[in-house]
Structure 1
């Protein structure tokens, strides 16, 4: 199953869980279950936007976007983070109101049953989506999976808290639990916004990928070939490296180009999704990127 298929499944499941959790809130009157249902609305909006951004990211390069549209996935992650934060603020407002005007919860058995069913469904999908997101390095899919996991833990906390309300009769546990849910959601939302902002600012490759790049270059390095000025960046599912390869000036252009092609192919085989660009230079020529005139 591909990334877009998982996101379509996430949209369908979000609609189902909204129905289940809204019914649970309707029957019980629990503000914490209402908070849980509100987060599922955010799940739906996030999944729909993620699906749109993944579709954009899959477009091939064009005249206006020669490096492709891969960064569109970071917009999805940031948008979902903002939605999560908005939902958390709404939950805090509702919980504060319930602290001032406490109300008993009713029909806990049915309400908790619906919450548990929706939580199990979300957990199974989130686990599958997280695996697929890491496999394809899809920021949008991974963000949606992490949000679903947050929803699972939220629902688990709500269930435990409402059981406590049923056993003790302490109605203040319900809004207290909703407040804790909101704080957890705020943390996750802030994390998503921060991660997406870093991705939009051309972060370097992950440590593991850079290690593979250096391993390949070490295999090609010897007395007549050396590499320097390596820079890297990631854009959605794509990875890019640019570097200089120095070799003897007596080599023919054909020989130098053949070696460069071998290095580029080795790099792209070692790191899936990588695009390598290598500039050829004679061994005794250096490039100076830190010259003040280049920074103007």
Structure 2
């Protein structure tokens, strides 16, 4: 017994529609920040600020990829995709991770060249102030993305939010480093800091790709979420004998849950169906947007493990 995907489609499409609007605003914010950071670089000539600006190019590309992915994810289930298109969001996150890695390699090349041939820095404070404004905008929008991504269970928005959060920390480090280079006259600090930024960005990109590939590979929900599911099964499984073989997987903002439910051999189909409905409603209350499949079995199929109701 299962809840058809169509019963969830309307709610999920509304969530995806809101996520798409947030992603569109992310493109606007990314373009503004990109403009400010390149102005700061042109005003200062700092390699570190150049690396910070180059990462913003990645932000724009990633935001555009998220818009496309979310529009695909919003498509309703069809004959060829009966479980919907929500996994499209993971492709956006993977693409963002790859772009981050490419940006890190480009920054690293520029930084190594500047380390070999250091140049005199004449950094006006106005340029640093422009970069600081860009960082504040990024910090504000990163918080909005993380909040919306968690609320809408959107891998694409969460990936964007985490990347922007890393970008903010990078910008703070860059500003402090460039300021130190200006005050001390140690010009090698500028490219050295850019190299540190490249390594940090590379690690961030690796984390995004790893997490997104995990989603594409149908990874199970986290242990805490599985524990909550088992607790709900235990609390609302009155009438059943046991529930075993619990399996879960993610598909974008959806979670798919399936398990076997053992009932007394003389229980009617209607009685078993009532228990299934109660369990599905309780699990969906705990995990909105879940798609649940329950396989009902007679008493002789009991395995005496899993969630024991009686």
TM-score range, shorter chain: over 0.9
Change in 2 beyond 3 A, CA 1:128/1:223: closer
Q: Is the 8 A contact 2:236 2:282 kept in 1?
A: no
Are positions 1:73 and 2:93 aligned together? no
Are positions 1:127 and 2:143 aligned together? yes
Q: Distance in 1 between matches of 2:237 and 2:127?
A: 65
Q: Distance in 2 between matches of 1:194 and 1:109?
A: 39
Following TM superposition, by how much is the alpha carbon of 1:224 offset from its aligned partner in structure 2, in angstroms?
4.8
Q: Is the 8 A contact 2:263 2:299 kept in 1?
A: yes
Q: TM-score, normalised by structure 1?
A: 0.93
Instruction: Compute the RMSD of aligned alpha carbons.
Output: 1.5
Q: Distance in 1 between matches of 2:127 and 2:256?
A: 50
The match for 1:246 is: 262
Q: TM-score, normalised by structure 2?
A: 0.89
Q: Distance in 2 between matches of 1:100 and 1:258?
A: 73
The match for 1:170 is: 186
Q: Distance in 2 between matches of 1:17 and 1:156?
A: 14
- Superimposed CA distance per residue, residues 102-148 of structure 1 (whole angstroms, 9 cap, x where no aligned partner): 11222421210110000000000001111111111111101101111
Equivalent position SS for 1:280: strand
Q: Is the 8 A contact 1:108 1:166 kept in 2?
A: no
The match for 2:52 is: 36
Following TM superposition, by how much is the alpha carbon of 1:222 offset from its aligned partner in structure 2, in angstroms?
5.5
Q: Distance in 2 between matches of 1:179 and 1:162?
A: 13
Q: Distance in 2 between matches of 1:205 and 1:131?
A: 20
The match for 1:292 is: none
Q: Is the 8 A contact 1:108 1:162 kept in 2?
A: no
Following TM superposition, by how much is the alpha carbon of 1:223 offset from its aligned partner in structure 2, in angstroms?
7.2
1:150 pairs with 156, 166, 170, which one? Answer: 166
* Shift >6 Å, 4+ stretches: none
Following TM superposition, by how much is the alpha carbon of 1:166 offset from its aligned partner in structure 2, in angstroms?
1.1
Following TM superposition, by how much is the alpha carbon of 1:46 offset from its aligned partner in structure 2, in angstroms?
0.3
Out of 100-109 and 21-30, give the one that drifted further: 100-109
Equivalent position SS for 1:233: strand
The match for 1:22 is: 38
Aligned length: 287
Aligned positions of 1:183-198 closer than 5 A: 183-198=199-214
Q: Distance in 1 between matches of 2:204 and 2:41?
A: 23
The match for 1:205 is: 221
1:215 pairs with 231, 234, 238, which one? Answer: 231
Following TM superposition, by how much is the alpha carbon of 1:173 offset from its aligned partner in structure 2, in angstroms?
0.6
Unaligned runs of 5+ in 1: 288-296
Q: Is the 8 A contact 2:236 2:278 kept in 1?
A: no
Q: Distance in 2 between matches of 1:224 and 1:143?
A: 41
Unaligned runs of 5+ in 2: 1-16, 304-310
Q: Is the 8 A contact 1:85 1:186 kept in 2?
A: yes
Q: Is the 8 A contact 1:27 1:106 kept in 2?
A: no
Following TM superposition, by how much is the alpha carbon of 1:9 offset from its aligned partner in structure 2, in angstroms?
1.6
Q: Distance in 1 between matches of 2:246 and 2:123?
A: 63
Equivalent position SS for 2:120: coil
Change in 2 beyond 3 A, CA 1:28/1:56: same
